[in-house]
């Protein structure tokens, strides 16, 4: 119970920090609350020029600011001749300005609105979760904010490689906070085809280092007519297909075809 409480506190702190650090954009709808001052509280839409009209203060620029910095700006201006020690809260009522793209082996790929709580795991859930053919890695492709000439000559994106199994198992350090313009790509698993005298022939996703024995186990094992000493691997090497004898301890490679032949009687 104590561990669950600590985990809940960590998750709440992460979300709270992400909310205050959210960068406001055009068309976002803000909820501004000034405690004890209902005439200064309400919902305000950030217009295309990046500003919104606020009582007493007039036009306030919001785009490019975080919720934290906008809150401080309003506090500073209200304290300058309007209120003594104003208590201000700024939150996002509706997110409209920022988006992410989820591609690859998910059930509902597409574009999604970014919210302050959008982590990698949350984005995968919104996209319907991963498909059975998903690999064991997810890529987060992030545009670089550095637009200098030197940066333009290099790759304009950063790519994070994240172990999907560890993420889904609860490793919170992998559950990165997403940013505007991020693309999440779940590649298809690398697979090997098994045929011949096995109980369940077909294609199977593999991890690096998978052996012939492990692959045969995935295929239900060898039938009564099959021979574990008559296994062949068909493999393309330098554009040419080759066939080699295989031992149960041999490592299979993506694209291989494993053929289990009948035993001699």
pLDDT in tens, the chain (265 residues): 443 333 334 343 444 444 567 788 888 999 999 999 999 999 999 999 999 999 999 999 999 899 999 999 999 999 998 999 999 999 988 877 788 999 999 999 999 988 767 899 999 999 999 998 888 899 999 988 765 554 444 557 889 999 998 998 889 899 999 988 899 999 988 889 999 999 999 988 888 899 999 999 999 999 999 999 999 999 988 889 999 999 999 999 999 999 999 987 7
Sheet holding 88-94, edge to edge: 42-45, 29-34, 88-94
SS3 12: helix
Rounded-to-integer distance, Cα 96 and Cα 125, Å = 20
Domain boundaries, the chain: 24-94, 99-186, 191-262
pLDDT of residue 155: 58
pLDDT of residue 81: 87
pLDDT of residue 19: 57
Rounded-to-integer distance, Cα 241 and Cα 235, Å = 6
DSSP track, 187-228 = PBPPEEEEEESBSS-EEEE--TT-BHHHHHHHTT-B-TTEEE
- What does CATH list as the number for 99-186? 3.10.560.10
- What does CATH list as the number for 24-94? 3.30.1950.10
Helices 67-79 and 2-20 pack at an angle, to 10 degrees, of 60
Given a contact cutoff of 8 angstroms between Cβ atoms, the answer to whether 116 and 17 are in contact is no
Cα separation values, 264 from 26, 50, 199, 229, Å? 74, 79, 19, 10
The CATH class, in words, for 191-262 is alpha beta
CB atoms within 10 A of CB 223: 14
Question: Are the folds of 24-94 and 191-262 the same?
Answer: no
75 sits in which H/E element: helix 67-79
């Amino acid at each position: 119970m104590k561990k669950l409480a600590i985990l809940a506190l960590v998750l709440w702190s992460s979300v709270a920090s992400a909310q205050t650090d959210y960068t406001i954009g055009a068309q976002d709808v803000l909820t501004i609350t000034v405690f004890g001052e209902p005439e200064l509280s309400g919902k305000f839409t950030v217009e295309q020029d990046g500003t919104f009209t606020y009582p007493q203060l007039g036009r306030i620029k919001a785009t490019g600011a975080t919720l934290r910095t906008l809150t401080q700006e309003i506090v500073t201006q209200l304290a300058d001749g309007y209120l003594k020690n104003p208590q201000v809260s700024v939150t996002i009522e509706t997110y409209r300005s920022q988006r992410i793209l989820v591609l690859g082996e998910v059930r509902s790929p597409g574009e999604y609105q970014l919210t302050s709580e959008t982590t990698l795991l949350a984005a995968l859930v919104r996209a319907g979760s991963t498909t059975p053919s998903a690999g064991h890695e997810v890529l987060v492709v992030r545009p670089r904010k550095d637009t200098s000439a030197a940066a333009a000559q290099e790759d304009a994106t950063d790519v994070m490689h994240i172990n999907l199994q560890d993420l889904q198992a609860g490793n919170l350090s992998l559950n990165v906070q997403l940013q505007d313009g991020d693309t999440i790509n779940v590649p298809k698993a690398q697979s090997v085809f098994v045929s011949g005298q096995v109980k369940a022939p077909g294609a199977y996703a593999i991890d690096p280092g998978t052996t012939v024995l492990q692959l045969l186990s995935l295929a239900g094992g060898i039938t009564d007519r099959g021979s574990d000493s008559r296994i062949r691997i068909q493999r393309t090497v330098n554009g040419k297909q080759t066939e080699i004898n295989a031992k149960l301890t041999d490592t299979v490679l993506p694209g291989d075809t494993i053929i289990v032949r009948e035993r001699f009687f």
